[in-house]
Amino acid sequence: NKEFTLKVTGHEKEFLIPKDKSIIQVLKENDIFVPMSCENGVCGTCKCKIKSGEVEHKDMVLNANEHQVQKLFTPCVTRATTETLEISV
Ligand code: FES
């Protein structure tokens, strides 16, 4: 895992996602609410939208249309491959 910078649409602050924390953990620490359940990439509850940047999908629940067309990803397991990722929650 590599660290990267996360931007959340509508929030001025940028977040550093360290190697050992998921996006959803950092959002929670900063009081940005994303519904979650499994925290393991299998339920899809946490899905958010990618606005810019690239990810390596790690979930087992979203389909190709959701990944490629709707630009959805699961912040409980999926991480950025680019230095910066912007999402909307
Ligand atoms: Fe279940 Fe993220 S919380 S897929």
Complex ipTM value: 0.99
Q: How far apart are CA 27 and CA 17, in angstroms?
A: 9
Q: In the prediction, which pLDDT does 3 show?
A: 97
**46 CA closest ligand 1 atom index:** 2
CA 53 to chain centre: 11
pLDDT score recorded for residue 51:
98
Does residue 7's CB lie within 6 angstroms of at least one atom of ligand 1?
A: no
Q: What is the pLDDT of residues 16-61, one digit of tens each?
A: 999 999 999 999 999 999 999 999 999 999 999 999 999 999 999 9
Q: What does pTM read for this prediction?
A: 0.96
pLDDT band at 15 (very low <50, low <70, confident <90, very high): very high
Give the atom of ligand 1 at the shortest distance from the alpha carbon of 76: 2
Average pLDDT over residues 64-76: 98
Sign of the alpha-carbon dihedral angle for 52, 56, 62, 64: positive
